[in-house]
Every structure is written in structure tokens, then in C-alpha cells.
Amino acid sequence: MDIKKELLNGKGYAVIDIENMNLLNELQSSFIKKINISNDNKKDINFVRKKVAKMSKAEVNQCMVDLSKFNNLSEMIVNSCPKLVESLCGKELFIQRRATFVMNVPGEGQAKQWPHYELMSGISPYSYIIWVPLHDLEENSGVYYFDQKKSLEIMKKEQDSGVGIVNGPIALNMMSDQKPKKLNFGQAIIFNPFLLHGNRVFNSELARIACTTRFQSSNKPLLQKNSDYLKYYTLN
């Protein structure tokens, strides 16, 4: 598959295999060490997921704030797929200054993530987004994506309806029918900023933990609402 062609002219997203599994394993291990949930030195990713699944929303939010100190996360993510990133943007990049971990707790009482696209947050149209789960994904626990054509159709319908919002009734009524991508550890999803995406409520004894970052070529305009969002980086 020509990933760049797929991102620009095809579905707008693609499932990719991580090129550097040693680095992804290192990222996972660093996450396990940094998250402040237990003094047990024998904890693994599923131990952490089980603990997170029992946390309150406030506790999960505090964990994600604490993990913002993981200040080389963007670098680790882009260097886990260096050939792909270079093929899309070259070696001189702007990368997200503070990449994020996202932890989703299972259960019907948990909030769904409404369909949204990255441009709603002021992300540059020249950016790409990589979403990497830190474990195998169980059925329906991942993120769903409307392909590029469908996303634009939904946006146009919302606009023509006079509602004046992107994630209005049309998009929201489609949430329950979506089937999230089922990925294995070592796979990720890369997508462009025009795609509507979100997640559903899922049932499991384990939380879902992923990390995500945005990047673009340094030769493209930033077009960011906040220039501090990205930093210059040369790919290894």
C-alpha cells in the first residue's frame, strides 16, 4: 500500500506496523515505570490496565497530567516509524511538543468520545496523527474512523442542515453503528486531520491505554492557533 496516497487521496487513514519494536517496547516499559499506581516492581501493562480500569475519572485525569512530564514521547513515537515519517514529511519536522497518553476506562458509565476531527482543535491541515495502543486491543475497545469521503459528506450534511455544528445529530446518531479497528500491539493508525473519529463505550476488565502525537514537515506552514504546540525536530 502507498501510505501517502492513501492518506491524501484514499481513506485518509491506514493501519501501519511499527518499524522499531525495540523502541515501542521501551516506550511501554517507560510508561509502566512512570505511572504512579503501585510500588510493585513486577507490574506489567495488563496489571496497569486493570488498576486504571478501577480508577475514578478524577484519578485517571491526574495520571494523565502526571504523565505529561514524559517529555520525549513525541520523539519516541516518530522514531518508531522513521521510514514512514520520512516518506511523508522528510527528516526535518515539526512535532507535537507534548505528546499525550490517553487512558479510557471501560463500562457503560464512562463518557463516549464524540466524533471530531483534528482541525477543530486548530491542528494544521498539513499534519499527520499517529495513534499507538500500548497493548492488543480487545473487540470494540479501539477508535473508529469515518473515511475521508464519508467524513466530508457528514460535514456537508451538518452544514446544509443549518445546525451549524460538526458533531451534531447526524454524526452522533451514527456512533453506535461504528466498529473500532482491532489492532495488535505493534500496530498503529496514522490519519490526516480531516477525518471524523471517536470511541465507543466498551466492556472489559482492562482499560485502554494509547499514546498519540502530531507531526508535519517543517517546510509546510504551521497554521497553528498556538505556535508553542509544535517544536522543530530532526528525524534520527
pLDDT tens digits for 44-81?
Answer: 999 999 999 999 888 988 888 888 889 899 999 999 99
Domain total in the chain = 1
Q: How confident is the model at residue 204 (pLDDT cuts 50, 70, 90)?
A: confident
Q: For residues 221 and 217, what is the distance between their CA atoms, to the nearest angstrom?
A: 9
The DSSP call for residue 95 is E
Cα–Cα nearest to 35, from 48, 50, 22, 53: 48
Inter-CA distances, 121 with 116, 146, 223, 229, Å: 9, 18, 12, 11
Residue 111 pLDDT exceeds 60: no
- Per-residue pLDDT band at 219 (split at 50, 70, 90): very high
17 pLDDT more than 70? yes
Position 189 scores a pLDDT of 95
Q: Is residue 125 part of a domain?
A: yes
pLDDT band per the 50, 70, 90 thresholds, residue 8:
very high
Average pLDDT, the chain: 86
Confidence check: pLDDT of 225 > 70: no
Domain for residue 120, yes or no?
yes
CATH number for the domain spanning 98: value is 2.60.120.620
Query: Is there a domain that residue 143 lies in?
Result: yes
Does residue 185 belong to any structural domain of this protein? yes
CA-to-CA distance for 50 and 72, rounded, in angstroms?
26
User: Is 16 inside a domain boundary?
Assistant: yes
Residue 4 inside a domain? The answer is no
What per-residue confidence (pLDDT) applies to 229? 84
Work out the pLDDT band at 24, boundaries 50, 70, 90.
Answer: very high
> What's the confidence (pLDDT) of residue 168?
65
Please give the residue range of the domain that contains residue 193: 11-220+229-234
Is residue 93 a part of any domain in this protein?
yes
The residue with cell 492557533 is 225
Is residue 5 in some structural domain?
A: no
3-state percent helix, strand, coil for the chain, nearest multiple of 5:
35, 20, 40
